[in-house]
Amino acid sequence: MARRKKLAKNSTMRHLIAKLNPRSPISEQYRTIRTNLQFSSVDGNLKTMLVTSSGPSEGKSSTTANLAIVFAQQGKKVLLIDADMRKPTLHYTFRMDNRKGLSSVLVGETNLDESVIKSDVQDLDLLSCGPIPPNPSELLGAKAMEKLIADASEFYDLIIFDTPPVLAVTDAQILANMVDGALMVVRSKQTEYEAAQKARDLLTPAKAKLLGVVLNDREQKKGHYYYYGTN
């Protein structure tokens, strides 16, 4: 409990470098990841993707939010969805209300139009997690989720999901069967080699193409993010 509170507090202090300082080398790294993602998708048209990692605190949420921003800065209509119904952070990061969100749309309490919020980044819309449900995996695997993706795909050029760690719960695997691509984050000096391999093996059979791996928090002067393709 104490740990979760601490994380939440950290999250409120989170800065989105791609928004605050688009000219920084780190933002440039995010743009490089964006370019690589665009090239790695089969037909050059990546429409739905998720970001995940093997374990906790490896940088999934920061990577997802910054990537969503650089895609929107390119003029794409982007919807960023917090599908981490275990430890949601999107509403802290963008300082928004979380009374309505993904969970409330999935249980039919509200609809997508009523729950999506415009961010202060042009072309970037947000869907927070909503009230934490008792059964996240079940909700994510429901027909309602497929409908939500289909509905959102009509309006948005890119839908990007933040998810929980692959080795902890099945949520990311479930979503990986509904989206076009999955991006894995590993954190320098934290992610164990075997854990990353196991996460990759769990994601490989999914419908989503494994798009690549982002190495987060790498110690070096120019920036923090490096991208390696899986091919």
Chain positions contacting ligand ATP, by CB under 6 A: 7, 10, 14, 53, 56-62, 84, 87, 89, 165, 216-217, 224
Task: Output the six-digit token pair for 96.
Answer: 């928004």
Q: Which is nearer to ligand ATP, 14 or 47 (CB)?
A: 14
Q: Which is nearer to ligand ATP, 11 or 153 (CB)?
A: 11
Q: Which is nearer to ligand ATP, 77 or 218 (CB)?
A: 218
Q: Is residue 163 within the footprint of Mg ion (CB under 5 A)?
A: no
Q: Which is nearer to Mg ion, 56 or 131 (CB)?
A: 56
Q: Give the one residue of 61, 103, 119, 173 binding Mg ion; rule: CB under 5 A.
A: 61
Q: Are the beta carbons of 68 and 100 closer than 8 angstroms?
A: no
Q: Least distance from C-beta 105 to ligand ATP, angstroms?
A: 21
Q: Give the one residue of 19, 34, 60, 209 binding Mg ion; rule: CB under 5 A.
A: 60
**Rounded-to-integer distance, Cα 20 and Cα 17, Å:** 5
Q: How many angstroms separate the Cα of 106 from the Cα of each of 118, 142, 224?
A: 20, 8, 36
DSSP states of 82-148: E--SSS--HHHHTT---SSSHHHHHTTSS-HHHH-EE-SSTTEEEE---SPPS-HHHHHTSHHHHHH
Q: Is residue 40 within the footprint of Mg ion (CB under 5 A)?
A: no
Q: Least distance from C-beta 106 to ligand ATP, angstroms?
A: 19
Strands of the chain (E only): list them.
Answer: 48-53, 78-82, 117-118, 124-127, 158-162, 181-187, 209-216, 226-228
Find which of Mg ion, ligand ATP, none residue 53 binds, CB within 5 to 8 Å per kind.
ligand ATP
Find which of ligand ATP, Mg ion, none residue 125 binds, CB within 5 to 8 Å per kind.
none
Binding site for Mg ion (CB under 5 A): 60-61
